[in-house]
Amino acid sequence: MAVRSFVIEAQRGHLSSPIPLWRQLHAAASVLAGIRRGESATPALARVPAEVRPGAQALAFHVLRQLGRAEALRRQLATRAPPPAADALLCTALALAWQEEDAPYPPFTLVDQAVEAAKRFAETRNQQAFINACLRRFLRERDALVAATESDPVVRWNHPGWWIARLQQDHPDRWQEILEANNRPAPMTLRVNLHRISRDPLRDLLRAGHIETEPVGQQGLILDRPHHVEAIPGFAEGLWSVQDAGAQLAAELMVPGLPEHARVLDACAAPGGKTAHICELAPTAQVLALDVDPVRCERIHQNLQRLGLQAQVSAADAGAPAAWWDGQPFDAILLDAPCTASGIVRRHPDVRWLRRESDIAQLAAQQKRLLTALWPLLKPGGRLVYCTCSVFRAEGDSQIAAFLAHNNTASLRPGPGHLLPRDGRSEGPLPDNRPSDHDGFFYAVLQKSALAAPARLDD
């Protein structure tokens, strides 16, 4: 039986779980059906019973990384799609079984258990014979069916066609590497809370708990495999936070050179990982963390409390400062702007199937609005770090180029630019990427002229 890395994402061994496979397949198919209705994976998984959820997540994430292939195979088997629940179950089985060497179970076991799942639930019971016929034919004709789908780029890369075309345009020399990285699971990466422990002692503590790590960046540790956060030593004590290595750059770019007791704004702060990192690196700073969602603000409070850190947290729209700004300029601003999340697809494989190409322009307009609103709040000589977890240039260097063209008080300082998603197993260095394993981001460091007029809302 082949056990691949996506099984590890369940954070416990679902292959040895007492939960029947047919039940896990049904749950994974329900997640896929929810995503096809426009729902993200998080709420779809939240409806899955807790005892089934880890295995269902592992299976569903693998399905999402193979969905282009699975849907093409289903079209080969049946040109007319069955009802949504049956189609989701059929595509789930095909995504898991089409490539035997990467299947979590032998294909004939997956087929047998998918048919059992169809029989067990009312929404698919009437389609049991259809699902059985399709999957048995797939087992008989697998090589020919797979070969018939090979020429379709959506099948080859398991991303929507518009997404592939956009990457070819934005990154003509690297688009294949980005797509390949997206189709592999991301590692679990921690950020050491240096207020409570240094990196080497934490590595020793984790090793004593049978968790091996590799250092990354200034404060990061990449785990050998994912674990439940509560099961990792030091969680309750606030010794670390979960944060991708690429995301850890935000505070590292902001904090150097800040004066004592600097006023710092984290403009779109939830769930608070970057806020906490700023507080760790600049313990005397007066940090204001904003988020438009009061529920998400509560998550910021919880994270800060666990880590033993303090910041002012407010529920407010960063793009409407007249409602919350006290008129005192900030020494530094972090704008982690809303974006397509195209850089974190390996960690959130549902994103590629939820986004529409039109989202890029809509989100770019929102990013422009936030940049325009926040720039006047920055002190002359101050620094604004703009970042997105996107690899699309419209949300990165194109956005910043347009901003600089219309703001003669802003200059671009050295920074990473576009960080492409990087699998630590990838061969060959990527320009501007640290030699490690991280998600895709864009970073720009903007400095305000020391001769700029004092901060005002009507600038």
Any alpha helices (H) in 11-78, and if so which ranges? 21-36, 41-46, 53-65, 67-77
Q: Specify whether 387 is catalytic.
A: no
Q: Which of 268, 279, 297, 389 is catalytic?
A: 389
CB 70 within 8 A of CB 63: yes
Q: Angle at which helices 84-97 and 128-149 pack, to 10 degrees?
A: 50
| 260, two tokens | 């004592």
Can you give the three-state secondary structure of 92-159, one letter per residue? HHHHHHCCHHHCCCCHHHHHHHHHHHHHHCHHHHCCHHHHHHHHHHHHHHHHHHHHHHCCCHHHHHCC
CA atoms within 13 A on the CB side of 383: 20
CA–CA gap between residue 437 and residue 418 (Å, rounded):
15
- Residue 260, φ and ψ in degrees, nearest 5: -60, 140
CA distances from residue 127 to 117, 133, 160 in whole angstroms, order as listed: 11, 10, 28
Please answer whether residues 62 and 346 qualify as being in contact, where contact means their C-beta atoms are separated by less than 8 angstroms: no
Q: How far apart are CA 411 and CA 260, in angstroms?
A: 24
Phi, psi of 214 (to 5 degrees): -130, 135
**Residue type at position 295:** V
Residue/partner pairs of 127-135 with CB below 8 Å, 24 or more apart: 127/82, 127/83, 127/85, 127/86, 130/78, 130/82, 130/86, 131/82, 131/86, 131/89, 131/90, 131/93, 134/74, 134/77, 134/78, 134/90, 135/90, 135/93, 135/94, 135/97, 135/111
132 vs 141: CA distance, rounded Å: 14
CB 153 within 8 A of CB 161: yes
SS3 454: coil
Catalytic residues: 389
